[in-house]
């Protein structure tokens, strides 16, 4: 893909943040960019505030544990997790998926709550399921699992049937 054919979002991000983009892929018209973690907060703010892009709606925040996928691990310097943002521009009718490799050694990423308020609960869910810390999140607690739950169940090394929590869960301390 030559420089001129790149989608507008890729062009503008490359202009603004050279070397930030690690990979661009297009699956049936759905654009995905993989970017470095160190500029992610500024980059996301740029995607929202730029008048030509205007990704004003954060549709979802989630993560993927790639620990069983050797080819993906090799590509991104053995970063175990990938935090994924789904963006939508209600004005331009454009969608964009932003993926950020996150190493297990530095398991944190800046919170997007000050850009999109909706990121609050979405990031709490990602924290709950994967144990990824969102820096400067106003209220980083578990959202789906009980407060005293141990472990992060969507990690690939977590057993499907759990570690016996469903028999030994705390009956009293819950806000029943």
Partner 1 sequence: MGLESQLGDNIFTTTIDKFVNWGRKNSLWPMPFGTACCAIEMMATLASKFDLSRFGAEAIRFSPRQSDLLIVSGRISIKMMPVLKKIYDQMPDPKWVISMGACASTGGVFDTYTLVQGVDGFIPVDIYIPGCPPRPEDLIDAVIQIQRIVEQESVSPKRRRGAIAS
Interface with partner 1, residue 166, by CB under 8 A: yes
Residue with tokens 């892929």: 25
Shortest gap between Cβ of 28 and partner 1 (angstroms)?
31
Which uninterrupted H or E stretch holds 129?
A: helix 119-130
Burial (0-12, 13-18, 19+ Cβ within 10 Å), 160? exposed
Shortest gap between Cβ of 156 and partner 1 (angstroms)?
14
C-beta closer to partner 1: residue 7 or 162: 162
Q: Using alpha carbons, select from 95, 96, 69, 91 the residue that is nearest to residue 82.
A: 69
What is the SS3 assignment for 174? Answer: coil
Contact letters for partner 1, residues 124-163 (x by CB under 8 A):
--------------------xxx------x----xxxxxx
C-beta closer to partner 1: residue 12 or 142: 142
C-beta closer to partner 1: residue 71 or 150: 150
Q: Applying CB under 8 A, what is the total number of residues that bind partner 1? A: 18
Which residues, 6 or more positions from 1, have their beta carbon under 8 angstroms from its beta carbon? 24
At CA 27, angle to CA 26 and CA 29, rounded to 5?
75
The residues of the shown chain that bind partner 1, judged by CB under 8 A, are: 144-146, 153, 158-163, 165-167, 169, 171-172, 174, 176
């Amino acid at each position: 893909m030559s420089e001129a054919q790149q989608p507008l979002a890729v062009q503008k991000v490359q202009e603004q943040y050279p070397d930030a983009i690690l990979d661009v892929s297009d699956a049936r018209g759905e654009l995905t960019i993989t970017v470095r973690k160190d500029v992610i907060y500024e980059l996301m703010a740029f995607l929202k505030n730029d008048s030509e892009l205007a990704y004003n709606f954060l549709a979802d925040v989630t993560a993927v544990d790639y620990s069983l996928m050797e080819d993906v691990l090799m590509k991104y310097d053995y970063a175990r997790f990938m935090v994924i943002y789904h963006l939508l521009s209600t004005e331009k009718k454009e969608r964009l998926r932003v993926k950020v490799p996150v190493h297990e050694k530095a398991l944190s990423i800046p919170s997007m709550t000050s850009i999109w308020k909706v990121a609050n609960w979405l990031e709490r869910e990602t924290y709950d399921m994967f144990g990824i810390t969102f820096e400067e999140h106003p209220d980083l607690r578990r959202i789906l699992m009980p407060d005293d739950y141990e472990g992060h169940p969507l990690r690939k090394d977590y057993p499907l049937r759990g570690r016996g929590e469903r028999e030994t869960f705390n009956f009293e301390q819950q806000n029943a």
